[in-house]
Each structure stands twice: as C-alpha cells, then as structure tokens.
C-alpha cells in the first residue's frame, strides 16, 4: 500500500499578512489537506509528534526587514517539530528514528535531511524537550545567559516572561551561576511557580497596578543582568534600575508592537552612564555553540536541575488559536501542539 | 627665594551646580587666587602648559549618578593637563620633566605622583597631543573603534562630532581598518576638513535642513559601526539605518539633555532585529589597554597618519567660556587652554 493511500497530511498555510486595518489573527492561516508524497531518493518522510509555537513566528508573518526572510504566502507555516521517520530513502535516517527539525505546522514533512537532527534513542528526557528546553528556546536562554549576560555570583539577574519557554531556562541557568534571580511574569500562578518550582528568588506580576514599586522592591541592589523577552513597561522600568556594567540580552519584544506600541528607551544617558551593554541576538547566530548548549541542557534536564512545564494544545487544528493565545501570555510554560 | 614668593596660582573652583531654573554656565565657576605651596616630601609641583576641556566635565558638574563621583563644590575643577615639573621631592620625577596628569583647571598643581605620567623627552609629537589624540580623547577613540566596533574592510562606519577631539581620531582609525567612514559635523568648514584633511569618505552637516536625507544618501549601504559622541537627532537617524550585526560605541551624548531633551530610542525592535550591539563605555574602564593605545596613537601622530587640529583658548581666565562654547560645538578640533 502506498504512502499516499496510508497518510493524509494537514498543513497550516499563511494566506495573508497582518495589516494596520486587520491585526494578526487566525484568519491569516488556512488549513490545507493533501495526500502525503512518497520520499524520493535522498528524502525522508517524518510523522510529527509535537509542533513548537514560538514568538518569532509572529515576525515571519510580516513582510519586510526582519531576522530572516518572511514566511511565503500559501506555503506551510515555519515551525520546529519533533517526530518519527516513517519512510526513508536518505542514507542517514532509518524508519523509526526520532528526529528534530523545522517541519512546519503540519502532520507530515518530507525532508532532504538539511537541518534535520537524529535524536538519542534513550528516554532520559521526553522527546518534546528537544523543541523546548533542550531545543531552540533553551539554547536561546543558554546563549543569552552564558554568552551575553554572563551572570556572576550575587549579581541581580532579571528575566521577563520568566515562566515562558525561554525564560524558564534562563532563570534557572542564572541561578546555577549564583545570581540572585528576579522573574517578571503575568499573574500570581506563574509568579508562584517561578519561585516555588523554578527556584527564583522573587517574581513580580507585571499585571498588578503597582508593578513598578513591587519590581523596585524586588531589585533593591539594582539590575546587573537583564534577559529581555517582552519589552514594553517591564523593559522601561528595568532600564531605570541598571547598574554600572550591566548587560542586557535583548531576545524578544513580544509585548511590543508589531501592531502596537513600540518599546522605547526614554534616555540613552542611562545606558551611557551605566556603561551598559545591550545585545540584540538571535539563537541561529550562535550555531557553532548549539552542540555544547544541547549537551549541557540535556544533562540538566535529565538530572532534574532544570525544571519545566508545557502548555499543550491538542491536534493540528488548534495551532493558530494556541499561537495567538501564547502571544498574549495565555500559555503557562512551553507552548506545544501535540500531533502524534 | 621660596616657591610661594615666586609663583602665584589661579584655579577655577566649581561653586554651584546647574539646575532646571539656571542651566549650566560660567556663573557656576569662580577663579580663586592663592600662593603656591612648597612640595612636601613625596610631592611634586607642576606648572601647567595646557589644560584639556572635555565634554565629560559637564557631567561632573551635576550631583547624582554618573560615571564618577561629582566634582566637589569649592574645589578646583577636574581636568587633564600637561606641564613641567618645577620642583620635586618625589623620587620618580625631576625638575624639568614633562608630565601628563589630572591637574585640574589651574596654573599649578601639587601631586603625590598618583595618576601622573612622565612623557618622553623627545619632540616627535607636541606635548599637547598627550591630552589630545595621544591622550584621553584619542584613547577613547581607540577603545571604541578597536575594542567595541571593530570595523572591517568595506563596512560603513559613522562617527558623530567627526572633527572633535575623539571623533577626529575615531574616523581615521576606522579608515586605517579599511572601512568607508562617514562623519557628522556641524557646519560646512568642519565637513570639508573631515573629508579633505582627515580623509573621510563623506561628512554630513547636521545643521542643514535636509540632514536626514543627506545622511541617508551618504550611507547607501546602511551603517555597520556607529561611534556616537552626540546623541539627539543624528543618533535617531543613525539607528534607523543600522545593519544586521551592527555595533554602536556609545561614548557621549553631548547634544542631549543634561538640561534638555533626552536621546531616545524610538523602537528597540530595530536593535533586536539587527542583532545590534550597543555598548556604553568610558575610557577609564580600559586602563590596562592604555599603554598599547598610547603607543599606537603616538606612532600614528609622529608618522602623520593621524592628523588633528586644536582650538586654543589663551590663559586660565578663558577656561569656562571656552568650555561652554565647546559644548555647543564652537570648537573646531581639540579644545585646549594654553597656560604656559
């Protein structure tokens, strides 16, 4: 029986771009069904088990200058995936191999092996960790923390979106380095989890009316390192508290305006006087360090030194709604879509 | 005959601080005359030949958080000086030695030798160069260019206050590195000098009405490195043109508001998307590199590879007026006060 008869694919295509008149939403996507093609010579067919939903995808929806080329219209939306090889005509992959790659928002993907990585056969960490704390989001946290901020013992390290996919790992890595870690998160449940489970020293809820006062009280010695995922007011208030020789890893501005308000710096003199370092970064600029990062993060996960949690949406149909909910902070932990 | 009978000192004291009601000006200083004390054991008496006037002094006039402690009221204003030893009871210095140090806004200074450096006896470069391109301003340019921006061949490097004490050296160092260097300066004379004498590829007059358009035309490939001395609109327009992996050495914000308008970043997304590095810095954070910088800069000056010019005010009495004129861009080249 042919693969085409066995498997039916469903894929989310980006079919329109957000505009000022019509902000981004699920209406920009369309679910397209198709039969699955047989792998050609040199190709491998993967059945996806989990799709990762990440804030960078919002940027890809736009046309114009960004990290990477925009997502093409009428093609499957980009996304990190873990899955199993169901058929292979590629010398490096065999049926049953577990793999991680950029398979996109769909149930099946054909790949020529580029960007596809075979995962260890052991079960020391769950497969979805390879698109979470041992994958792109975790490596992002590792790069920003170990390569840019380099927190030292007793320094104050602040991480926004502290219970998100990146922030969860960033805060725990900074704790391992001996820093005093203060999280920023949305709501009391996330803040409690950040302190009680992730082990942060404090966590401030940015949704409270007196957030700036609470945040100042939680950072009495100022801020030496800032892992910025969010932008907006938390960033503004953080800048007001930076110490001499502080370092800011500028990773994301999810609270800020693709459609809305930009994240501003009110006065660069603060940055000058503090001799502050601000480094915008993207994890793919650090590809040579990925093997080291993955090895360290996998070890921390297997030993339980890094804890994490997931928000799971079930079924490919749920992807767009889950994605936009995540951008508003509706997730609690790494946002995944379960496909398997 | 005693030193006290021979020499009479004149020193500018800071006697009040600027406020919102009364912005900074010469009224904040008072010229105080006194007799010169004999050096005690371990001290050296220096007759100043030149005083350096530098933008950082404006910050020292304020109370509050800054690089360094504020200038104390009713004490001699801080400043870099070159001079000659006229009497010494210090084992390392002899009468006639030429020295550079932080002697302050005065004719004579007593020193215990801390921060005082003996200059070479040769005349390969003029003594005032040691408070100019081979001194603090030149080292500042060297640090920002070679340690932060690290311009590569064919990259576009922008320097504001391009004919100032720091900018003059920064632009020429970037040219030596093979970059395409675009200056920003105030007025056609400075721009002509930047291109014709300093050898920059272009220089744009920030006082022209269509500055942003001219600046865009002069940086058709965007900006890879920015040596920022000024802030304000030139900084804003520069940020709009930064390339991927651009580096900004944030050295000064002289156009910006101690009393007036702050220098803002309109949208940090530009910094994030470009994976831009912004590093606020002060040259004294790089003290271990000073000997290397001074050696390289002195060599470039002696060989004529680095050109420079001075704006000289004559006599200690002229210091405050010359200082505030410089802050408004009234100088053309390194601002000095001739005291000898």
Pairing mode, strands B98-101 and B75-76: unpaired
Answer yes or no: do B237 and B331 share one domain: no
Q: Provide ipTM, 2 decimals.
A: 0.91
Terminal C-alpha separation, chain B: 21
Examine the pLDDT at B147 and tell me if it is beyond 60: yes
Rg (CA), chain B: 20
Examine the pLDDT at B163 and tell me if it is beyond 80: yes
Q: Which of A65, A265, A283 to mutate to test the interface with B (most CBs of B within 10 A)?
A: A265
A254: nearest Cα among A187, A149, A324, A335 = A324
The CA distance from A127 to A104, in Å, is 17
Examine the pLDDT at B66 and tell me if it is beyond 50: yes
Please name the residue of chain B whose CA is at the shortest distance from the CA of residue A255: B269
Q: Which of A280, A281, A286, A287 to mutate to test the interface with B (most CBs of B within 10 A)?
A: A280
> In 10 A of CB A338, how many CB atoms?
16
- Reduced to 3 states (helix: H, G, I; strand: E, B; else coil), residue B307 is coil
- Reduced to 3 states (helix: H, G, I; strand: E, B; else coil), residue B22 is coil
Answer yes or no: do A105 and A179 share one domain: no
How many domains does chain A divide into? Answer: 2
What token pair was written down for B4? Answer: 């006290």
Determine the pLDDT at residue A64: 74
B65 pLDDT band, cuts 50/70/90, is low
Q: At what angle do helices B165-176 and B290-303 cross, to 10 degrees?
A: 80
The CA distance from A274 to A284, in Å, is 29
Structural domain includes residue A293:
no
Please name the residue of chain A whose CA is at the shortest distance from the CA of residue B68: A273
Chains A, B: CB contacts under 8 A, how many?
A: 107
**Using an 8 Å Cβ cutoff, are B311 and B286 in contact?**
no
Residue with tokens 């001499």: A244
The CA distance from B58 to A79, in Å, is 52
Q: Could B253 and A263 be called an inter-chain contact, meaning their C-beta atoms sit closer than 8 Å?
A: no
Structural domain includes residue B299:
no
CA B227, distance to chain mean position in Å, is: 13
According to DSSP, the residues that pair with A228 across neighbouring strands are A250
Structural domain includes residue B104:
yes
Structural domain includes residue A62:
yes
Q: Which residues of B touch A (CB under 8 A)?
A: 59, 65-67, 231, 235, 245, 250-253, 256-257, 262-269, 271-282, 285
Answer yes or no: do B83 and B59 share one domain: yes
Phi-psi category of B232—alpha, beta or left, where left has phi over 0 and alpha has psi -120 to 50?
A: left
Dump the DSSP string for B104-152.
Answer: -SBSEEEE-STT-EEPPSS-SS-GGGGGTTTSHHHHHHHIIIIIII---
Pairing mode, strands A117-118 and A98-101: antiparallel
Examine the pLDDT at B192 and tell me if it is beyond 70: yes
The CA distance from A98 to A96, in Å, is 6
Determine the pLDDT at residue B5: 61
Answer yes or no: do A115 and A34 share one domain: yes
Average pLDDT rounded to a whole number, residues B126-142: 97
**Buried/exposed B76-103: b ≥16 CB within 10 Å, e otherwise:** bbbbbbbbbbbbbebeebeeebbbbbbb
Answer yes or no: do A241 and A330 share one domain: no
Answer yes or no: do B34 and B173 share one domain: no
Q: Could A235 and B272 be called an inter-chain contact, meaning their C-beta atoms sit closer than 8 Å?
A: no
Domain CATH number, residue A36: 3.90.180.10
Per-residue pLDDT 10s for chain A (340 aa) are 466 567 799 999 999 999 989 999 999 999 999 999 899 999 999 999 999 999 999 989 998 766 678 899 999 999 999 999 999 999 999 999 999 999 999 999 999 999 999 999 888 999 999 999 999 999 999 999 999 999 999 999 999 999 999 999 999 999 999 999 999 999 999 999 999 999 999 999 999 999 999 999 999 999 999 999 999 989 999 999 999 999 999 999 987 654 457 899 999 999 999 999 999 999 999 999 999 999 999 999 999 999 999 999 999 999 999 999 999 889 999 999 999 8
> In 10 A of CB A150, how many CB atoms?
15
**Using an 8 Å Cβ cutoff, are B237 and B208 in contact?**
no
B43: nearest Cα among B110, B102, B94, B108 = B110
Structural domain includes residue A125:
yes
B233: nearest Cα among B258, B257, B249 = B257
Examine the pLDDT at B1 and tell me if it is beyond 60: no
DSSP-derived letter for residue B201 is S
Q: What share of chain B is helix, strand, coil (3-state, %, to 5)?
A: 30, 25, 40
Minimum distance, in Å, between the CA of residue A3 and any CA atom of chain B: 41
Question: With contacts defined as CB-CB under 8 Å, which chain B residues touch A231?
Answer: 268-269
> In 10 A of CB B20, how many CB atoms?
6
Q: Could A271 and B252 be called an inter-chain contact, meaning their C-beta atoms sit closer than 8 Å?
A: no
Closest CB from B257, B269, B274 relative to A256 = B269
Structural domain includes residue B61:
yes
pLDDT in tens, B101-115: 999 999 999 999 999
Residue with tokens 């990190």: A80
Examine the pLDDT at B284 and tell me if it is beyond 80: yes
What token pair was written down for B96? Answer: 């006639």
Average pLDDT rounded to a whole number, residues B180-208: 97
Determine the pLDDT at residue B3: 66
Q: Could A272 and B252 be called an inter-chain contact, meaning their C-beta atoms sit closer than 8 Å?
A: yes
Dihedral of the CA atoms B251, B253, B255, B261 (nearest 10)? 170
A183: nearest Cα among A246, A174, A298 = A174
Distances (CA, A) of A72 to A29, A56, A113: 12, 15, 21
Answer yes or no: do B76 and B35 share one domain: yes
Answer yes or no: do B110 and B76 share one domain: yes
> CA B67, B249, B262: angle at the middle one, nearest 5?
60
Answer yes or no: do A120 and A221 share one domain: no
According to DSSP, the residues that pair with B181 across neighbouring strands are B157
Torsional sign, CA A169, A174, A180, A182: negative
Examine the pLDDT at B258 and tell me if it is beyond 80: no
Q: Could A264 and B263 be called an inter-chain contact, meaning their C-beta atoms sit closer than 8 Å?
A: no
The CA distance from B340 to B320, in Å, is 18
Domain extent at residue A159:
136-284
The CA distance from A73 to A191, in Å, is 39
The CA distance from A231 to A240, in Å, is 13
Closest CB from A66, A265, A267 relative to B268 = A265
The CA distance from A187 to A203, in Å, is 10
Answer yes or no: do A7 and A113 share one domain: yes
Report phi then psi at A149, rounded to 5.
-75, -40
- The order of strands in the sheet holding B29-35 is B29-35, B8-14, B75-76
The CA distance from A327 to A58, in Å, is 8
Domain CATH number, residue A141: 3.40.50.720
Structural domain includes residue B296:
no
Average pLDDT rounded to a whole number, residues B207-216: 96
Answer yes or no: do B149 and B195 share one domain: yes
Structural domain includes residue B232:
yes
The three-state DSSP-derived secondary structure of chain A is: CCHHHHCEEEEEEECCCCCCCCCCCHHHEEEEEEECCCCCCCCEEEEEEEEECCCHHHHHHCCCCCCCCCCCCCEECCCCEEEEEEEECCCCCCCCCEEEECCCCECEEEECCCCCEECCCCCCCCHHHHHCCCCHHHHHHHHHHHHHHCCCCCCEEEEECCCCHHHHHHHHHHHHCCCEEEEEECCHHHHHHHHHCCCCCEEEECCCCCHHHHHHHHCCCCEEEEEECCCHHHHHHHHCCEEEEEEEEECCCCCCCCCCCCCCECCHHHHHHCCCEEEECCHHHHHHHHHHHHHHHHHHHHHCCCCCCEEEEECHHHHHHHHHHHHCCCCCCEEEEECC
The CA distance from A53 to A44, in Å, is 23
Average pLDDT rounded to a whole number, residues B282-311: 97
Side-chain-side CA neighbours of residue A277 (13 Å): 18
The CA distance from B110 to B124, in Å, is 27
Q: At what angle do helices A165-176 and A290-303 cross, to 10 degrees?
A: 80
The CA distance from B246 to B179, in Å, is 13
Answer yes or no: do B317 and B279 share one domain: no
**Using an 8 Å Cβ cutoff, are A106 and A316 in contact?**
yes
Q: Could B263 and A250 be called an inter-chain contact, meaning their C-beta atoms sit closer than 8 Å?
A: no
- Reduced to 3 states (helix: H, G, I; strand: E, B; else coil), residue B242 is strand
**Using an 8 Å Cβ cutoff, are A66 and A59 in contact?**
yes
According to DSSP, the residues that pair with B118 across neighbouring strands are B99
């Amino acid at each position: 029986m042919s693969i085409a008869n066995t498997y039916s694919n469903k894929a989310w295509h980006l079919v329109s771009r957000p505009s000022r008149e019509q902000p981004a939403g699920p209406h920009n996507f369309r679910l397209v069904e198709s039969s699955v093609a047989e792998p050609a010579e040199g190709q491998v067919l993967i059945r996806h088990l989990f799709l990762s939903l990440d804030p960078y995808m919002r940027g890809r929806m736009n046309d114009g200058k960004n990290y990477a080329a925009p997502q093409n219209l009428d093609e499957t939306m980009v996304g990190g995936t873990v899955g199993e090889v169901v058929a292979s005509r590629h010398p490096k992959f065999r049926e049953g191999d577990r793999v991680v790659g950029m398979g996109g928002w769909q149930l099946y993907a054909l790949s020529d092996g580029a960007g596809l990585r075979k995962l260890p056969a052991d079960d020391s960490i769950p497969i979805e960790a390879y698109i979470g704390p041992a994958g792109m989001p975790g490596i992002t946290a590792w790069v920003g923390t170990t390569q840019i901020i380099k927190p030292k013992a007793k320094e104050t390290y602040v991480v926004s979106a502290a219970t998100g996919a990146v922030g969860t790992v960033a805060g725990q890595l900074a704790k391992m380095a001996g820093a005093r870690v203060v999280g920023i998160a949305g709501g009391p449940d996330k803040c409690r989890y950040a302190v009680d489970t992730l082990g942060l020293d404090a966590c401030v809820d940015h949704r409270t009316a007196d957030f700036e006062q609470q945040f100042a009280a939680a950072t009495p010695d100022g801020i030496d390192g800032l892992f910025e995922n969010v932008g907006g007011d938390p960033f503004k208030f953080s800048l007001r508290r930076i110490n001499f020789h502080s370092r800011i890893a500028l990773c994301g501005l999810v609270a800020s305006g693709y459609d809305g308000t930009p994240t501003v710096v009110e006065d660069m003199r603060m940055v000058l006087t503090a001799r502050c370092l601000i480094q915008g970064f993207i994890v793919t600029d650090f590809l040579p360090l990925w093997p080291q990062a993955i090895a360290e993060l996998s070890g921390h996960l297997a030993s339980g030194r890094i804890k994490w949690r997931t928000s799971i949406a079930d079924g490919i149909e749920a992807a767009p709604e889950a994605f936009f909910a995540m951008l508003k902070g509706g997730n609690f932990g790494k946002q995944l879509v379960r496909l398997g």
